[in-house]
Structure 1
Amino acid sequence: MSGKPVQEFDGKVFAAALSTAPGVYRMYGADDALLYVGKARALRNRVGSYFNNTPKSPRIQAMVAQIARMDVTVTRTEAEALLLENQLIKSLTPRYNVSLRDDKSYPYVLVTREDWPRIALHRGPRAVQGRYFGPYASAGAVRDTLNLMQKLFKLRNCEDSVFKNRSRPCLQYQIGRCSAPCVELVARADYDQAVHRAGLFLDGRSDELTHELTGEMEKAAEQLQFEQAARLRDLLTSLRSLQARQYVDGHAANLDVLACAMQGSQACVLLLAFRDGRNLGTRAFYPRTNGEDSAEEVLGAFVSQYYAEQSPPREIVLDREIPDAELLEEALSSAGGRRVQLKWSVRGERAGYLDLARRNAQITLASELSSRSAQQARSEDLRDMLGLAEPAKRIECFDISHTMGEATVASCVVFNEEGAVRSQYRRYNITGIEPGDDYAAMHQAVERRFRRAVEEGGVLPDVLLIDGGAGQLAQATAVLADLGVDGVLLVGVAKGVERRAGHETLVLPDGRELRPGAASPGLQLIQQVRDEAHRFAITGHRGKRQKARMTSKLEDIPGIGPRRRASLLKHFGGLGGLKKAGAEEIARVEGVSEALAARIYASLHGLVTAPTPDGRGSG
């Protein structure tokens, strides 16, 4: 019985039926996988251009040949189409789009959104409510900025647990770097004003800030508030000395310089950032080009996607003209609430910065490609060493960590062809085993990871490394056999003589043992993955052990249940704060009597007190 033939997609007919309105189009393959997302000034013209007889690059030809269907979304303006395109590329990651890789490690300056906002360095997902300024080139640049913020605006940087439990100002107040909002030595309105000014400074709007401060200083002087006027004068003097650090055309530098270097389909975009005369350093990005070999297209996609997430400066200097530059200017200006200019034909200081960015982009890309080449050589040597048909695309490694059987934690790290995939790392708290039983711990961790993969259809590694010898390897082998998992090569990594690196023995399930030696690139890759698993396990174990020890000290005190324990820790900001408190201060916590406070104090300080009414002592 023959099935009905699949009707081929007729792009010319589809395009002819579209309107000439702006919008976004999406291309799908036969398996309904998204191939490409694009924006259009006129949908009919842009979509039709893919199916006419004009010459096209091999990448576009390959993409068009796979189209099984298309759909479109009409927008009111081209700027709306640009914003929607960026959102779809980021959320759907189409196969043929150039995409900026997400990297949560970029450091930011965070000003929290709360009654008394805190200013701090932030990395990772933006889970905390507040304003994020950056990203900065390095954590050092953020710390320099925080140092300035504390000197200029005296904002707090302490954690909430400390802030809420202060009874007197800390050292930061004494040295003039904080206005002590913890004990309300500053009025709420004055503190809010300082937060507003810090925001202007971090936004690169120092001219506006300077104008505002000048007006307030003159007003204070007219009202004979000379102390206030003197404070504002000193702040203005500090700001102007900072602005004097770097000028472009006589104005404080406030711009981004971008250069794109390419070798084949590998790209590096280098960002050189200045804000209010401060050079924030450089940062390199490696967009996924997905076969695109035009530096103009790559840089254009980068600008579009990067500044959809980050606040752009007034001026962005590029090392080449990019497509849809006018549209990007319009969209960025509209989103930022101020005019943003894209420039690529520049002279003077800007040309010097552009040359610096170009050279750094080329050097950085060459270094990255060299590193990737070394990684590829390691993968190929590992393939030959283990007898694989092709280099492993995914390697996982398990390690167990504990101290004399206490707080056992297992780690699972993941590496792909490009290196560590930290977003897919996992830790497992091991329970229900005899303390120190590494075999049972390994069995439990591997079973939990692969049972879930089997039940949910998850991805499996090509190579699974087990930190240990034949015993640990046997546990993992048994788990995969019980779950019916095939196609995963198991390798035990046994430590060498005197635990010396390079002398490891690789144990295979069939009983063979390999000793590649320190010069083996394949073994170097295994060491890299194993060491990362060990580091990740140790970090988790230490955290678990510390938490357990802190909690157990309170749990061992008669009369302390979960609710009182939580109240005490919250009131004092943790066990450290509780240990510093006297019995009288502990008794002020709701639900804690003087007798119980005495027992808590005695227990935390190793003292002996009289037995409780039920006959149990607290010492």
Structure 2
Amino acid sequence: MRICYCIDICFHSKNTSCLQNTKITCYNQRMNERLKESLKLLPSLPGCYIYYNSDNEIIYVGKAKILKRRVMSYFNRKHHDSVKVNVLVSQIDHLEYIITNTEVEALILESHLIKKHKPKYNILLKDDKKYPYFLITNEDFPRISIVRKRNINPEKGRYYGPYTDIRAMHSTLDFLKKIFPLKQCKTPKFKTRPCLYYHIGKCLAPCQNMVSSDEYKAIVHQAELFLSGKQSELMAQLMTQIQKYSDAEQYEKAARLRDSYFDLKKTLEKQKVVYENTKLNEDIISLLHEDGILTIVIMMIREGRLIDKKDFTYDVEDEDKTEFFATFFKEYYNTLSLEFPDKIVSNELEAVGDKTLYEEWLNIISGKKIKISYGKSAQGKELQALADKNCRVVLDNAKLSKMSKINEDFNNIGSYLKEKLHLNNFPYRMECYDISHIQGTNTVASMVTFINGLSKKSAYRKFKVKSTEGKPDDFLSMKEVLTRRLSRLGEKGWEKPDLIIIDGGKGQLSSVMEIVEGMGVTGIDFVSLAKRQEEVFLPHNSQSILLPRESSALFLIQRIRDEAHRFAITYHRNLRSKSSIKDTSKK
């Protein structure tokens, strides 16, 4: 007999609003003091924990192999680097937990609770209207349609999805209607005769009893095979049916089915053949994360062919990447209404861990055996590389889209930066510098320029650093570069910047300000951006400024900093390559 326990632990406060406005660190300290004894009641058993806010709303559901260890970790100071965990913990008013027999039971229960309650800190595909599904309706004579939101009641029909490209879906729907002439109207347009769809070959007119129920169901099944990616089985069935019609001398039906067969064959030939092995049914998942943008690409390979690619884009902090991906993985496959693969390949799943647990969970929800691979084999590496290439394109497009939006809104973003960073100038023209070398050899520097929020590559500059050759000294290198740059202020092609961004912390900025003030340069704002916490430092100020993690302002200065680094690295590699060629020719 399976036994579950549920305990409610409350964090009461007479003044909740006051408590929520308290600093997070103080709030956590106060909770730990008051709840120390209560949290000791948590068992060292597998199960699910449920967090509520002061309005008794479920805000987060999680699973744990050991409930006590997992729940206590939320109130541990080491998690305070994560903004998401800080915000979540600050809103917890009380919690419940449910004990299960095994961790996989906890995983299944977690998926069920998330699906039922949709807690705001669990939902990744928050607006599921965004991701459409194909629906084959549950009627005597079903129809195929696209629905924006998956109905909770499965009696409405069978769903296939989610998909991420609505335009491609409409093209596929048009193709399906051409190949599989299913009913297109909810109600008959005429009482005694078929409508236009019948006469143009896009409907078999079941409303006028012009097709038998069995024949219609066979066509529905063929459409289901197509949406499930079972092309070989579908083509075999069509060929068998063509032969039956031909043997029965039903040549008109045989001809119509033959046309559908060849249309399908042409479509399948356009699909990329990944492997000649027609038994290869795998999902390949790639994940990339840069500048606060996380992209996930899922490539669906069925019978050796790439039949679909799904891509997802989110704004995510770097420290939350693995947890975010684990939650996405569970949610995606828990809501999947397509044929499950035989194997899921992703090197990112290695960081998530719990391979056996997730395989067992997948087996239960899919009703079939599914393997998880980290892509270590030669075939796995090849497929992973293909997914990574596609993911890189999605990420670059997401960056371009965000930069385009920054350009459109730059008046607001520039004003925001001017106010928050206490700048004297509006940051219309911004420059950033980076030093690159290997143990002091081939030391170079880059200068990138952004105007009105967009890069201006014609204003980029690169420098060969001469003062530090053979002896690495970033301060001396920066001194040389800034001296050469600032001495040319006002010359053609060397216009005066409004803001200069330095890659580094307050130490690097202090060194730069010594150089600038020694030269007597004025009228330019300087800031530095430290990589670890993305803190912004101002001259002569030990306190850093934290811009909102998902703000366009932070994304812009990150993008400028990363572009300077890229430009410097590229120039350094080119120089190093030329040096190697010279050394080889001398020998």
With normalisation by structure 1, the TM-score equals: 0.51
Summarize the Cα distance change of 1:227–1:317 in structure 2 as closer, same or farther, 3 Å threshold.
farther
8 Å Cα contact 1:63/1:96 also seen in 2:
no
Shift of residue 142, structure 1, vs aligned partner? 2.0
- The code of the aligned residue for 1:343 comes to S
Matched, 1:136 2:163: yes
After superposition, give the CA deviation of every residue in 1:207-257 in whole Å (9 maximum; x if it has no partner).
Answer: 444565677778889xx6464995798466665554443333422775444
Matched, 1:47 2:71: yes
Structure 1 equivalent of residue 360 of structure 2: 330
8 Å Cα contact 1:137/1:280 also seen in 2:
no
Shift of residue 168, structure 1, vs aligned partner? 2.8
Structure 1 equivalent of residue 288 of structure 2: 261
1:355 to 388, 407, 412: 388
Structure 1 equivalent of residue 133 of structure 2: 108
Structure 1 equivalent of residue 219 of structure 2: 194
Quote the Cα distance in structure 1 between the aligned partners of 2:297 and 2:94. Answer: 37
After superposition, give the CA deviation of every residue in 1:454-493 in whole Å (9 maximum; x if it has no partner).
Answer: xxxxxxxxxxxxxxxxxxxxxxxxxxxxxxxxxxxxxxxx
1:176 counterpart SS class: coil
1:206 to 198, 216, 231: 231
Structure 1 equivalent of residue 333 of structure 2: 307
Matches within 5 A, 1:594-609: none
8 Å Cα contact 1:255/1:316 also seen in 2:
yes
Summarize the Cα distance change of 1:300–1:353 in structure 2 as closer, same or farther, 3 Å threshold.
same
Quote the Cα distance in structure 1 between the aligned partners of 2:213 and 2:354. Answer: 46
2:402 to 358, 369, 375: 369
After superposition, give the CA deviation of every residue in 1:68-125 in whole Å (9 maximum; x if it has no partner).
Answer: 5332023454344334434544665656557333141334322222121112333356
2:61 counterpart SS class: strand
1:37 to 44, 49, 61: 61
- The code of the aligned residue for 2:103 comes to E
Structure 1 equivalent of residue 183 of structure 2: 156
After superposition, give the CA deviation of every residue in 1:393-447 in whole Å (9 maximum; x if it has no partner).
Answer: xxxxxxxxxxxxxxxxxxxxxxxxxxxxxxxxxxxxxxxxxxxxxxxxxxxxxxx
8 Å Cα contact 1:110/1:130 also seen in 2:
yes
- The code of the aligned residue for 1:142 comes to M
8 Å Cα contact 2:61/2:122 also seen in 1:
yes
Quote the Cα distance in structure 2 between the aligned partners of 1:108 and 1:64. Answer: 32
Shift of residue 179, structure 1, vs aligned partner? 1.9
Structure 1 equivalent of residue 346 of structure 2: 318
Summarize the Cα distance change of 1:216–1:114 in structure 2 as closer, same or farther, 3 Å threshold.
same
Quote the Cα distance in structure 2 between the aligned partners of 1:280 and 1:99. Answer: 24
Q: Which range is displaced more, 142-151 or 25-34?
A: 25-34
Report % sequence identity. 29
Quote the Cα distance in structure 1 between the aligned partners of 2:374 and 2:144. Answer: 35
Quote the Cα distance in structure 2 between the aligned partners of 1:44 and 1:376. Answer: 47
Shift of residue 191, structure 1, vs aligned partner? 0.6
**How many matched pairs?**
382
Shift of residue 370, structure 1, vs aligned partner? 2.0
Quote the Cα distance in structure 2 between the aligned partners of 1:263 and 1:307. Answer: 25
Shift of residue 187, structure 1, vs aligned partner? 0.5
Summarize the Cα distance change of 1:84–1:374 in structure 2 as closer, same or farther, 3 Å threshold.
farther
2:319 counterpart SS class: coil
Matched, 1:183 2:211: no
Summarize the Cα distance change of 1:27–1:107 in structure 2 as closer, same or farther, 3 Å threshold.
closer
Aligned CA-pair RMSD: 4.5
Q: Which runs of 5+ in 2 are unaligned?
A: 1-12, 20-29, 420-551, 553-587
Shift of residue 302, structure 1, vs aligned partner? 1.2
Structure 1 equivalent of residue 146 of structure 2: 121
1:109 counterpart SS class: strand
8 Å Cα contact 1:271/1:283 also seen in 2:
yes
2:136 counterpart SS class: strand
Matched, 1:165 2:190: yes
- The code of the aligned residue for 2:345 comes to V
1:293 counterpart SS class: helix
Summarize the Cα distance change of 1:100–1:378 in structure 2 as closer, same or farther, 3 Å threshold.
farther
8 Å Cα contact 1:30/1:68 also seen in 2:
yes
After superposition, give the CA deviation of every residue in 1:482-511 in whole Å (9 maximum; x if it has no partner).
Answer: xxxxxxxxxxxxxxxxxxxxxxxxxxxxxx
Q: Which range is displaced more, 297-306 or 269-278?
A: 269-278
Quote the Cα distance in structure 2 between the aligned partners of 1:124 and 1:65. Answer: 31
Structure 2 equivalent of residue 23 of structure 1: 47
Shift of residue 275, structure 1, vs aligned partner? 5.6
Structure 2 equivalent of residue 415 of structure 1: none
- The code of the aligned residue for 1:340 comes to I
Quote the Cα distance in structure 2 between the aligned partners of 1:86 and 1:378. Answer: 44
Matched, 1:246 2:246: no
8 Å Cα contact 2:50/2:96 also seen in 1:
yes
Quote the Cα distance in structure 1 between the aligned partners of 2:35 and 2:140. Answer: 57
Quote the Cα distance in structure 1 between the aligned partners of 2:85 and 2:215. Answer: 62
Quote the Cα distance in structure 1 between the aligned partners of 2:190 and 2:152. Answer: 24
Q: Which runs of 5+ in 1 are unaligned?
A: 388-520, 522-619
Quote the Cα distance in structure 2 between the aligned partners of 1:250 and 1:341. Answer: 17
Matches within 5 A, 1:431-446: none
1:286 to 310, 313, 316: 313
Shift of residue 309, structure 1, vs aligned partner? 1.7
